[in-house]
Structure 1
Amino acid sequence: METISHREMRNRSGTYLRRVEAGESFLVSNNGTVVALLGPPDMLSGIEVARRRGQSRPAHATAEGFGAIARRKATSTSAEIVADTRGRW
């Protein structure tokens, strides 16, 4: 994905908007820091935006098989666990 500066985007906004309309997308930087994604509406989901920012990553495996994990009965109630973490036991 091409990175453009805020100034370049402002000075050539018509050009970049036509390219966005054609399906392209751009990262916009301000003082060398990427601050925005310019692209067609609904182009990316929130998860995809986070992935491109390095804030998430795709799963390495599917969720199949998690339903087969046996539940365990807790020896304490939630209230007891909370009280213990707060030092009120």
Structure 2
Amino acid sequence: MRSISQRELRNDNATIMRAVESGESFVVTRRGVPVARLTPVPDTDLRVVRPAAEGVDVTALPRVRATRPTAGHLDDLRGDR
């Protein structure tokens, strides 16, 4: 596992991400101290296990009409009222 600095990760992120995609792992350091590990995601971890169901026509669903403007709902959620 190769060590890279935070600055190298920032400046060469495209190259490093391609290397991670191809299976390489990195330890990211800040001022020489390891702070993170950058490794490929296993196939079964965060990737789609199965595609979305076919044949669901969301355009056929009824439209929902708001009883008041969206800004009012947002104000309530933010606690502005």
**TM-score if structure 1 supplies the norm length?**
0.46
Determine the structure 2 residue equivalent to 1:15: 15
Question: How do 1:30-49 and structure 2 match up within 5 A?
Answer: 30-42=30-42
Q: Could you tell me how far apart the structure 2 residues matched to 1:39 and 1:10 are?
A: 16
RMSD: 1.4
**How far apart, in 2, do the equivalents of 1:42 and 1:30 lie?**
26
Aligned residue number for residue 28 of structure 1: 28
Give secondary structure in 2 for the equivalent of 1:23: coil
User: In the TM superposition, what whole-angstrom CA distance separates every residue of 1:19-45 from its partner, at most 9, and x where no partner exists?
Assistant: 0000000000001100000111149xx
- Match in the other structure for 2:5: 5
Which fold has the larger relative contact order, with Cα–Cα distance below 8 Å and residues 6 or more apart in sequence? 2
Post-superposition CA distance 1:21-80 (Å, at most 9, x none)? 00000000001100000111149xxxxxxxxxxxxxxxxxxxxxxxxxxxxxxxxxxxxx
SS in 1 for 2:27: strand
* Runs of at least 5 residues in structure 2 that lack an aligned partner in the other structure: 44-81
- The residue correspondences of 1:10-89 to structure 2 (distance < 5 A) are 10-42=10-42
Structure 1 unaligned regions, length at least 5: 44-89
AA matched with 1:28: V
**Regions of 4+ moved over 2 Å:** none
